[in-house]
């Protein structure tokens, strides 16, 4: 996951800028832009990998890439792909993040300075008393009751020293405390929200304050959620949030309450027999069914073009949608086998007709021959 998982997106600008592109070209274009934003910079041109990420055959992807580069949408330099507007947005995002981080550090530094000035004198007295008592106990080798400094200033450093029953004689009395589990838990929550470890939001606010951590504790103690359940819920909420991290952890409280309510509901045990659990589930062919990638690959191996595959698929779906008898319900494996049977039966006829007409197998409509682009175009024409 990228350190900056969201970007500014202007729908009107995108629609206007891509109005002259085909559906396949637009799909590849937005995918490449997302990869650039995710990498925070240019991406390497690897047609094998990028064609898979875009969901297009390699040959179709190359044609689309040539068109996008010719239109100036994508710039290729020394084997790297980039886009002018993406470069500008990424640079602006980095500058804003650095400015927000610097401002946050200054605010935290001022707060820590004030705290040290107000409590420094009491902390020093408490630590000095603690060290003197420990040294006296070592010299006499007679254990003495440790002084109660918890009420004399509540210093975290002194309480940490109380845990050390045998300190070395040259140990400094003002050693800072180690990182606590609460610090690590805060950083983990901030990371799940897509923030850096300091919790600086794009607007310069600080997430993970004492109030936020108190809210996270309520999720655990009052709602009974584990840390793994909380993290999973935060990631799920952030996956749907499009305007960046929230200002407070309380934004996640309704989602945590829903999760706790779902946990409290006891699911009813299904009334099934052992034979039912092992029997494959049969279903009717879905409305708008299209062949899977494996189904398309099988048909291509039989010498069919994408156009011919879609024509067979239209007839296949219409035929089985009209079947209301028991044969019209099949398992997932059964539908795959029925498709293969239909392809084996129809492929010789299509190839023979193509040879008689003097045509050759086509890989598409000239604007990307992937099955997805053909399905999209047929749906637009009202044929699927």
Q: What is the pLDDT of residue 314?
A: 84
Residue by residue, pLDDT tens for the chain (384 residues) are 455 557 778 888 889 889 889 999 999 999 999 999 888 889 999 999 999 999 989 999 999 999 999 989 999 999 999 998 888 888 887 887 788 777 777 776 666 565 555 555 555 555 555 555 655 555 545 444 444 434 444 444 444 444 444 444 444 444 444 444 555 788 888 888 887 767 777 777 787 788 888 898 898 888 888 887 888 888 888 888 887 888 788 889 999 988 888 867 544 445 555 455 566 788 888 877 778 888 888 999 999 887 788 889 888 988 998 888 888 889 888 889 999 999 999 999 988 888 887 655 554 444 445 565 566 666 666 554
- 48 vs 52: CA distance, rounded Å: 7
345 CB-near residues (< 8 Å, 6+ apart): none
Short-list 326, 312, 228, CA closest to 284: 326
CA angle 222, 226, 231 (to 5 degrees): 115
11-82: CATH topology is Arc Repressor Mutant, subunit A (1.10.10)
375 and 292 Cβ atoms separated by less than 8 Å: no
Dig out the tokens for 16 from the structure. 């206007």
Domain positions in the chain are 11-82, 89-162, 182-264, 293-380
Tell me the whole-structure pTM to 2 decimals: 0.32
Dig out the tokens for 117 from the structure. 């000035």
Q: What is the pLDDT of residue 370?
A: 55
What CA dihedral angle connects 76, 77, 79 and 80, to 10 degrees? -70
- 239 vs 253: CA distance, rounded Å: 16
DSSP assigned state of 206: B
80 CB-near residues (< 8 Å, 6+ apart): 42, 43, 44, 45
Q: What percent of the chain has pLDDT over 70?
A: 66
- 341 vs 329: CA distance, rounded Å: 16
């Amino acid at each position: 996951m990228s350190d900056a998982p969201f970007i500014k997106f202007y729908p009107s600008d995108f629609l206007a800028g891509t109005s002259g592109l085909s559906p396949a070209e637009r799909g590849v274009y937005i995918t490449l832009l997302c990869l650039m934003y995710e990498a925070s910079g240019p991406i390497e041109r690897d047609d094998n990998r990028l064609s898979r990420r875009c969901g297009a055959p390699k040959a179709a992807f190359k044609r689309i890439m040539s068109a996008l580069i010719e239109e100036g949408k994508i710039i290729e330099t020394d084997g790297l792909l980039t886009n002018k507007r993406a470069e500008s947005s990424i640079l602006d995002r980095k500058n804003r993040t650095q400015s927000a981080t610097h401002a946050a550090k200054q605010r935290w530094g001022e707060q820590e300075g004030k705290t040290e000035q107000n409590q420094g004198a009491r902390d020093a007295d408490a630590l000095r008393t603690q060290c003197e008592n420990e040294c006296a106990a070592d010299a006499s080798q007679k254990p003495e009751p440790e002084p109660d400094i918890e009420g004399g200033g509540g210093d975290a450093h002194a309480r940490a020293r109380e845990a050390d029953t045998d300190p070395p004689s040259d140990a400094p009395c003002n050693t800072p405390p180690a990182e606590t589990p609460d610090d690590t838990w805060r950083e983990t929550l901030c990371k799940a929200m897509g923030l850096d470890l300091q919790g600086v939001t794009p607007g310069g606010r600080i997430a993970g304050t004492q109030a936020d951590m108190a809210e996270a504790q309520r999720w655990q103690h009052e709602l009974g959620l584990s840390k793994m359940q909380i993290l999973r819920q935060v990631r799920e909420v952030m996956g749907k949030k499009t305007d960046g991290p929230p200002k407070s952890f309380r934004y996640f409280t309704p989602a945590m309450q829903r999760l706790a309510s779902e946990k409290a509901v006891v699911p009813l045990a299904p009334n099934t027999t052992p034979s039912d659990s092992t029997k494959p589930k049969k279903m009717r062919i879905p409305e708008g069914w299209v062949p899977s990638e494996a189904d398309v690959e099988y048909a291509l191996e039989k010498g069919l073009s994408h156009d011919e595959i879609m024509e067979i698929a239209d007839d296949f779906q219409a035929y089985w949608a009209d079947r209301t008898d028991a044969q019209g319900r099949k398992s997932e494996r059964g539908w795959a086998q029925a498709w293969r049977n239909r392809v084996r039966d129809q492929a010789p006829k299509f190839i023979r007709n193509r040879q008689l007409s003097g045509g050759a197998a086509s890989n598409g409509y000239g604007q990307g021959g992937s099955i997805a682009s053909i399905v999209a175009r047929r749906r637009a024409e009202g044929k699927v």
